[in-house]
Amino acid sequence: MKAVIFDMDGTLLDSMHVWREFRHRVVKRLNIKTVPENLFDILKDMSIEESAEYFSSLSKNKTKQEVLDIYYEILKDFYANEAELKPNVKEFLQLLSDKNIIMCVATETDMIFAEAALKRNDILKYFDFLICAKEVGKGKKFPDIFLEALKRLCLNKEDVIIFEDSYYAAKTAKDAGFTVYAIHDDYHSNPQEIIDISDKYSMDYIDYINML
């Protein structure tokens, strides 16, 4: 292992819970009266851009950009002031740094929010670079973000491990030929899915610390 590509939400940050509350707040702000019963399931694997387009179609009178403006107002406050690290993250990052392992972040969250959250939690310093889905034009249903990170690292796939918490992103990475280590997050209702496809799975970073 020469480098690690980290997801952010649910992997480094204990932040996935905010998305359930966040979407309810968006519905309220947009004054949407009727939503599908399975709204949360519909949205959970969408990127910010994709979900904004979906909410725009539900609202009838708000453009995608207007929905995004509401998103940014809500999310800016959360990532700048509330988002916390998952247990033992900082210790794991320090250990990787001590071993001269290169680290970067590949996230579907916009760069301005990612940088704010990582800086406030004093871990931005560990990463050579951050890359977000908006930069590559596609979310993690496609491998582009992982391949771009690999290109910037100037390494081969076998030299890199990807850390993820969500099944769909882990599956994309695995299908693209990467090694994937998974970390548990309560946000996901069926952890067995990601357990089955990942090379390793852990409830806590302490297990990965003990591996090194």
Number of C-beta neighbours around residue 129 at 10 A: 12
Instruction: Judge whether 178 and 106 are in contact, CB under 8 Å.
Output: no
Distance of CA 184 to the CA centre of its chain: 13
DSSP state of 86: P
* Interacting residues of 131 by C-beta distance below 8 A, sequence separation 6+: 104, 105, 106, 107, 145, 148, 149, 152
CA distance 9 to 132: 12
| pLDDT-derived band at 74, boundaries 50, 70, 90 | confident
**Among all chains, which residue has been given the structure tokens 């090379």?**
199
| pLDDT-derived band at 199, boundaries 50, 70, 90 | very high
CA distance 212 to 208: 7
Return the percentage of the chain with pLDDT > 90, whole number: 71
**What is the reported pTM?**
0.85
Per-residue pLDDT at 209? 96
